[in-house]
Structure 1
Amino acid sequence: MLNTHSSQKQHAPMPKLAIWLLSRLANPAYRDELIGDMEEEYTERQLTNQDASNWLLRQTTMAIWDGQKAMIRTTGFVKTLSIILCVLALPTIALFVGWLSNMHMPSEHLWQLLMAGEVHYILFNSEYWGIAWNESGVSHLEVDMFMHIPSILWAMVFAVSAYLFLKKLKPSVWVFSAFTLAYILVPYLFGYGVISVFELPPQKVGPILAFMMLAPFFTLPAYVGFLFKGFANCST
């Protein structure tokens, strides 16, 4: 009885948790073959009294890591990430533009941040969110607040550049996303640099802040459009 019980323990199948994780998180290009090979190796290690448990843990971790790296390289992942970015960024920018257009006597702290062009600090300020949502919120937004010609022209320049970039160089999805990120960051960095270097009066800071925020606002949807049109295959 004891020998039979020991034999059964030595021939235990690979844990169902490991199989479940591998079947969902390993690289789909060779997922089934990998699970089969690991089951054979796991059984053989038990039969030869090798450390099967630690080996299985290491191999499962490495297979999941490899699978996630492969998944990140797919256009499907980039498309999903881009949609999430738009869902988060576009309403945030719209709310900031509404607050900037309907601003009445902000606190000294918010005013200093505004005059320094430090929007990245304003957006992480709890006082701003309370004011923007309650006093200058969505109900105060109007279409003409977004009619900013320099920002629209910037988005048009991006559209032409993106078309040529995709047509002539045929970049990977990540290279194209990095290209777009540069177009999104340049207006903000340019505006922040100008406001930081020159002591501008408030009436001149406002249009620069609008360009810093609205140029990405118009560029992001154009990027998503090119992304879905230029990278139809989600597996590359």
Structure 2
Amino acid sequence: MTQQDRAKYTRQTILEAAAMVFDRAGYNAATLNEVATLANTMAQAERGATVTKGAVSHHFQSKKDLAEAVITAQHTWSVGLAKQKLEDDEPGLRSAIEMSLGLAAKLSDHEKPLVRAGIKLTLENGPSFDLPVDPYREWIDATVELLRRAVTEGDVRVEVDVAAAAELMVGCFVGVHLLSEVLSGRARLDEQVRLMWTFWLEHLVPEERVAEFRGFVAGRLMAEMVTP
């Protein structure tokens, strides 16, 4: 392994360890010592390598810097999925449904802490972080583009205000996620997102196609449940 490869591995290991710590403890209670200890344990188990607190400080100047990197990684995955669907000319409404169910699956999976921690940090301390973009604004903007495409495809009614719908849909998802965390530790998040879409389809889709899209939501939910 080259020095550059070792540096990349160390940084990624620290990032994953930080995500676990932030997801479990939240931003205020998390410490760089705890991140370094967990990163070292992970590196030793995976490659017999060592990660010190000095390595953490080398890659990330502060806890705030580390938290911002976690949020950026989560945001890159989440919005990157939407951008890819737009570039690939995939159906708009189906893509929006797949995005939300995929995100719900990641948030429900304790083995995927990066997405869970990124969302948690954004909700806890979002305005205090220095981020190159506004994660929620980009999420809303991507949803607007998907809904506009869905209108041209005949999957969303022409009279729908897609900008307002996108903002409300993102807000609904965030609210459903928070409620699910409080009520069940996100154990029922996928089912609650399905119920959210059951409501939204009544307001978005031509009446004669509501049953078709309910079936699509149920099918995608099943697929997410069996995807490793």
TM class by smaller structure: under 0.3
Higher relative contact order (CA 8 A, sep 6+): 1
What TM-score, normalized to structure 1? Answer: 0.25
What TM-score, normalized to structure 2? Answer: 0.26
